[in-house]
Amino acid sequence: MNWKQKSLAVLCFMAMALGFYANGGVYVTPHNILVLLAFLAPFTALGLYCCVGLGMPMALFFRFVPLPFGLLLSAFFISVGLRYEHPFVLGGLIAALGGGCLATLGINLKPDDVRMFSRPSAISLVGVLTFALATPLIIVLWSLDNADLGHFWAPINLGIAVAAFGAIYFALDTKQAPLERAQSASLNAVLLITGFLVYEYFVGLARIEFSEWTAILTAQNVLTLVAAFAIYFGVVFVSICHNQIHQLPIRHWHLVETFLFFVFMVIAPESILELEVDQMSQDDLDQMSQSE
């Protein structure tokens, strides 16, 4: 793909984004800007580390890094929004959308651009991952006056995610490479925790005595899912830096399916038919009050 094709692709994408904005489908709010900042700042640091520090091709970085990172941040901001009744519930989807758009860019780059690059040190990997995961948390604590660090540091949530990962990792065939096993275990941990989360959500709705706590319980359980996403992202990032990427396209696809299942089961908006029924009920009530 030459520079003319790249320029046309960028222009068409910008035209599409501006079209959505002009059509009223995209709302720019302070909360959305914060989510976008929490996504772009660490993502830029990760990109500089990989592409400049390691000499990793941009095709490889954009193909595999932005999507799991965007889904991780989206789940994180959904949890924050549920816990503090904040617009971050919907604003968090901006991170998933941004990750998907950048992943699309990486998928369409030339495969032969992938070449050998330097391997990272363990200390540098831990440092850049810590920065990437801590930046969104710092932004949330700074932007919300009532945010409590203790809410995000719940050992039980991390413990459940690690236990799910370990249960699957040690059950897998030991003939596989360690990173391959870690990829499979972390992905299946996300699937498993999502299933339990949705189950607990509907149990909370069905039990009247717990209904008032449903949102808080769901927010706390989503933190467990966030921890599982973080484990998957960490494993994926280490795998990319060591060029262990054979199964990542399929695993990313299953990750997207799981995230969409979670969103549509827990925070999906009302359908048009439901809105019409609610409106009809309200109209009937208004007519009854007028007739009286």
What confidence tens digit (pLDDT) does each residue in 246-271 have?
889 899 999 999 998 888 887 776 66
Residues 248 and 187: their CA atoms lie apart, in Å, by 10
Residue with more model confidence, 17 or 137: 137
pLDDT at 3: 66
Q: Which of 48, 102, 50, 49 is nearest to 73 (CA)?
A: 102
Residue with more model confidence, 98 or 30: 98
What confidence tens digit (pLDDT) does each residue in 272-283 have?
666 666 565 555
pLDDT at 148: 75
CB atoms within 10 A of CB 188: 22
Mean pLDDT in the chain? Answer: 81
How far CA 24 is from CA of 15, 191, 202, 273, in Å, comes to 14, 34, 33, 22
Residue-level length of the chain? 292
pLDDT at 187: 94
Q: Which of 49, 56, 183, 55 is nearest to 124 (CA)?
A: 49
pLDDT at 254: 92
pLDDT at 28: 66
DSSP string, 105-156: HHHTS-GGG----PPPPHHHHHHHHHHHHHHHHHHHHHH-TT--HHHH--HH
How far CA 236 is from CA of 15, 133, 264, in Å, comes to 32, 14, 25
Close Cβ partners of 210 (under 8 Å, ≥ 6 residues apart): 203, 204, 217
Close Cβ partners of 17 (under 8 Å, ≥ 6 residues apart): 26
pTM: 0.84
pLDDT at 60: 86
pLDDT at 256: 92
pLDDT at 212: 53
Residue with more model confidence, 149 or 194: 194
Q: Which letter does DSSP use for residue 50 in this model?
A: I
What confidence tens digit (pLDDT) does each residue in 74-127 have?
989 888 887 777 777 777 888 888 888 888 877 777 655 555 677 888 899 999
Please give the distance of CA 158 from its chain centroid, rounded to a whole number. Answer: 17
Residue for token digits 């040690």?
170
